Every structure is written in structure tokens, then in C-alpha cells.
Amino acid sequence: SGSDRFYFLEAYNAKTKSFEDPPYHARSSGNKGKGKGKGKGKSKGKSSGASEYSESEAAAMKPPKLRSLDVFSGCGGLSEGFHQAGVSDTLWAIEMWEPAAQAFRLNNPSTTVFTEDCNVLLKLVMSGEKTNSLGQKLPQKGDVEMLCGGPPCQGFSGMNRFNSRTYSKFKNSLVVSFLSYCDYYRPRFFLLENVRNFVSFKRSMVLKLTLRCLVRMGYQCTFGVLQAGQYGV
């Protein structure tokens, strides 16, 4: 715990002088305490790596799926990616456009899907409400472990013809709404997805402010531009 943390994608094998996938025990989330009897009497028969664990043991070591809230969920493409990766279960989703919300419901029948303004919902929760006007249970502080979403990107898209300052500012304010969700719920993990121009818009001003907000909240954060074709899209 604390600020002294590090993250890695590959392990360096000093014998072969090459990088390779780290063993399973290294990829687990540091959830094992110090072992007993390390050092003296250590068996030399076992080799290090994932082969030390049976499939059942490896399955038991997997951390539980994160309870996720998907804001601006659309029909659920982003959540589906996390589901397929085994990262999270989307328990709540917010989507104002009814056709997209209905598609999300059909694909995720166990998810509570809200078809309301995200700002209105957040105000309800912050005022102490437990349900909305339809009787749907609202996620409370401490319930959300992962927050993901893609705020509508009209203000950043290169196809946007209405490039006035007022119009762009209005559209881009949804990013601030999303950050407000993060500030209130303080999930363990937060992911914001947007179009490529989000990085360069207004000389990266919006990106810089977004990162600054997250850092001030106490999060470690990074960003990247991904090529969808590399992920089968």
C-alpha cells in the first residue's frame, strides 16, 4: 500500500536475456501475504512460473470481478469488453437514449439500466436518495469498484462543424460530469474512453485538466491512443 507501487507487463529472464510473460503468481494482485518457512529448506524440485499451480489453484487465486458502473454506456460495447476479459460485472449502467439502453438491457439482463440524465442521478445520490422516480435502486458510495464510460464526443470529433466556443464547452462539460462521478464514488479503477482528438483538443487542455483532476483525487493515471484494429474491431 502507499505511494510506492509499480506496474509491469513483462518479466525479464536473465538466463535467456529476453522478456516474457510473467508467471501467474506475479500477475496476481499482490493478495498473498508473506509465506512461511521461506529460505531454508526450500524445495529445489519446482521451477518458478505458472506451472507451479494447477488450473483449480489458479482459478481460486483469481481476484473477484469488480462491481462496475458504466456511464454513457450506449448499447454496452465497453462493458462487454471488460466482461469478456473477466475484469468486471456491470451492475449499473446509465444511458439516456432509450434504443441503446434497451439493447444494453437485452444483452445484460442482470444490470440496472437508468435512462436518465447522469447529472440528475448523481444529485439524487448525493442528496441521500436510495431510489429514483421509477423505484430503481441507486448505487451508493462504496458500492462502485470500477467506473467506466465514454462521454459523448461531439465537442472533440473532427467531424464537428459547430466549433463555436459555447457549443464545444457545453458538449465537453459531460467530461466534468463523469469526473464528478469519480470524485463522489471514488472507485478503485476509473476508465474514460473517447475519440483520438480528445488528446489534442485545445492544445491538450481538456486532457491535462482531466489528468490533473484525477491526480488531485489521489489516483495514479495514464493515457494512450489505441488502434481499434489491433483489438479485433
The domain that contains 77 carries what CATH number? 3.40.50.150
In a domain, residue 56? The reply is no
In a domain, residue 59? The reply is no
Q: Identify the domain containing residue 127 by its residue range.
A: 66-132+139-151+162-222
* Exposure string for 2-29, b = 16+ CB within 10 A, e = fewer: eeeeeeeeeeeeeeeeeeeebbbeeeee
Active site residue 221: no
Q: Which residue has the cell 481499434?
A: 228
Total of domains in the chain:
1
Q: What pLDDT score was predicted for residue 43?
A: 45
Residue type, 76: G
pLDDT category of residue 120 using cuts at 50, 70 and 90: very high
The DSSP bridge pattern shows strands 88-94 and 66-71 to be parallel
pLDDT category of residue 196 using cuts at 50, 70 and 90: confident
Q: What pLDDT score was predicted for residue 124?
A: 97
pLDDT at residue 136 greater than cutoff 70: yes
Contact, 103 vs 75, CB < 8 A? yes
Q: Which triple of cell numbers denotes residue 230?
A: 489491433
In a domain, residue 145? The reply is yes
Q: What pLDDT score was predicted for residue 40?
A: 46
Helix, strand, coil % over all residues of the chain, rounded to 5: 35, 15, 50
In a domain, residue 125? The reply is yes
In a domain, residue 58? The reply is no
Lowest-pLDDT range of 119-133, 134-148, 166-180, 211-225: 166-180
pLDDT at residue 232 greater than cutoff 90: no
pLDDT at residue 155 greater than cutoff 50: yes
pLDDT at residue 169 greater than cutoff 50: yes
Catalytic pick among 75, 153, 213, 221 = 153
pLDDT category of residue 16 using cuts at 50, 70 and 90: confident
Q: What pLDDT score was predicted for residue 90?
A: 98
Using one digit for the tens of pLDDT, what is the confidence trace for 60-69? 677 899 999 9
In a domain, residue 37? The reply is no
In a domain, residue 72? The reply is yes
How big is the chain, counted in residues?
233
Contact, 78 vs 70, CB < 8 A? yes
In a domain, residue 39? The reply is no
pLDDT category of residue 19 using cuts at 50, 70 and 90: confident
